[in-house]
Amino acid sequence: MNNIKTTIGFTPAYGLKNRHLQTVYSSFFRKDMNLDYEIEEFTLKDKDFVECYWLNKNKANKNIFVIFHGLEGSFLSPYIQGIMKALKDKNQAVVLMHFRSCGPKVNRKAKTYHSGDTSDAIEYLKYLNKKYENAKFFTIGYSIGANMLLKLLGKDFIDNFIEKSVCVSAPLDLSICAKVLNSGFAKLYEKHLLQLLKKTLIKKYERHDYKKLLNLTKKRVEKISTIKEFDDLYTSKINDFESAENYYKLNSSKQFLKNIRINTLLIYALDDPFMNKDILPLKEELSNNCTFELYENGGHLGFIEGSIFNPKYMLERRIIEYFKEYY
């Protein structure tokens, strides 16, 4: 039985206690913030690129907050806009690194991102550290971006110069989360995410012959009905894994938590519809540098307090508070 206790400090908005309302409310009702981004196209070693969206780039010599979004997320995602604006309002430099295929431009390579692909993030972080040698660096990850970040912190980033980090709603066990998404009401989320993934992949067919590369036709893609099937046929194969389960096993971040050497805050809700209690780590599976905050409510990337008509977003408040010593 897991021995991590739930945390007090969040009361869901009246009328929004339900896990699904917490999860979807901001996608439907939070207004676009029309942030004035400065866009940087960073060229990777393999000649592909990632699109990086900055706010307050002129302040980058002091602190830089690097953000990683969730599955098929982007600068348009409400949770991304919310934290970027909150940090901008604190006069901090903040940059969102889009994963490959998630920015507005179509990437050059057939390769795509995945839940544990740390290589692009490490390359970009090293570039930033070299360019802004006097800056302090902080990282924030959401959902699969959080899973990737935890793997980066606990396994892949040997010359780690990050000061502190926050990870929200990370799918610590990818296999369990794939099963949860394919059950009950969560199938609606799976259907939505799958539509986005398939749309992105079909667009990539304009540049890449996946029939030749993976023996995968557009017609077969259109028939894919689960996230795991998508990962079996495409994500795992294009990234040189044997299967979806092999990909999940090697990239689930739970196994790397005990190795994290910097102060890292993990935020979860017990009612997250994308996962269940089986993903939660035992106390002995966590590094002493990890603070694990588990809330009764909050859904997936929700944590909306206040009221339906005057919502407040606890994640932004908590994250801003966590880094307060550096402002």
User: Which domain CATH number covers 301?
Assistant: 3.40.50.1820
Tell me: do 235 and 273 sit in the same domain: no
- 65 within a domain of the structure (yes/no): yes
CA-CA-CA-CA torsion sign (25, 31, 34, 35): negative
- 275 within a domain of the structure (yes/no): yes
Tell me: do 32 and 129 sit in the same domain: yes
pLDDT at residue number 2: 47
Question: Which residues have CB under 8 Å from 199's CB, separation 6+?
Answer: none
Residue of 26, 77, 143, 165 marked catalytic: 143
- 42 within a domain of the structure (yes/no): yes
Tell me: do 32 and 126 sit in the same domain: yes
pLDDT at residue number 214: 97
Report yes or no on whether pTM surpasses 0.75.
yes
The number of folded domains in the chain is 2
Tell me: do 205 and 318 sit in the same domain: no
- 1 within a domain of the structure (yes/no): no
Told to judge if 300 belongs to the known catalytic residues of this protein, a careful annotator would answer yes
Tell me: do 276 and 296 sit in the same domain: yes
- 7 within a domain of the structure (yes/no): no
Told to judge if 69 belongs to the known catalytic residues of this protein, a careful annotator would answer no
Angle at 252 between CA 86 and CA 229, to 5 degrees: 105
Q: What residue numbers bound the domain in which 34 lies?
A: 19-172+253-326
Tell me: do 158 and 264 sit in the same domain: yes
230-234 long-range contacts, CB within 8 A, separation 24+? 230/194, 230/197, 230/198, 231/178, 234/112, 234/201, 234/210
Q: Which residues pair with 41 in a beta bridge?
A: 51
- Of 174, 135, 152, 167, the C-alpha closest to 261 is 152
- Of 86, 98, 97, the C-alpha closest to 56 is 86
Told to judge if 143 belongs to the known catalytic residues of this protein, a careful annotator would answer yes
Pair 97, 67: CB distance under 8 Å: yes
- 14 within a domain of the structure (yes/no): no
Residue that is written with structure tokens 């994640």 in the block: 315
Tell me: do 188 and 86 sit in the same domain: no
Residue of 120, 231, 271, 272 marked catalytic: 272
- 3 within a domain of the structure (yes/no): no
Pair 140, 68: CB distance under 8 Å: yes
Question: Cα–Cα distance between 83 and 319 in angstroms, integer?
Answer: 8
Tell me: do 88 and 142 sit in the same domain: yes
Q: Which of 251, 282, 309 is the last residue of a domain?
A: 251
Tell me: do 139 and 274 sit in the same domain: yes
Tell me: do 130 and 50 sit in the same domain: yes
Tell me: do 262 and 162 sit in the same domain: yes
304-311 long-range contacts, CB within 8 A, separation 24+? 304/12, 304/13, 304/16, 304/22, 304/25, 304/26, 305/10, 305/11, 305/12, 305/13, 306/13, 307/13, 307/14, 307/15, 308/13, 308/14, 308/15, 308/16, 311/13, 311/16, 311/25, 311/26, 311/29, 311/30
Tell me: do 112 and 24 sit in the same domain: yes
- Of 3, 5, 30, the C-alpha closest to 303 is 30
pLDDT at residue number 5: 64
Burial class of 297 by CB neighbour count within 10 A (0 to 12, 13 to 18, 19+): buried
Q: Which of 198, 220, 251 is the last residue of a domain?
A: 251
pLDDT digits (tens, 9 = 90+) for 134-182: 999 999 999 999 999 999 999 998 778 999 999 999 999 999 999 999 9
Q: Which residues of the chain have pLDDT under 70?
A: 1-5
Q: Which of 229, 251, 273 is the last residue of a domain?
A: 251
- 301 within a domain of the structure (yes/no): yes
Angle at 74 between CA 13 and CA 127, to 5 degrees: 120
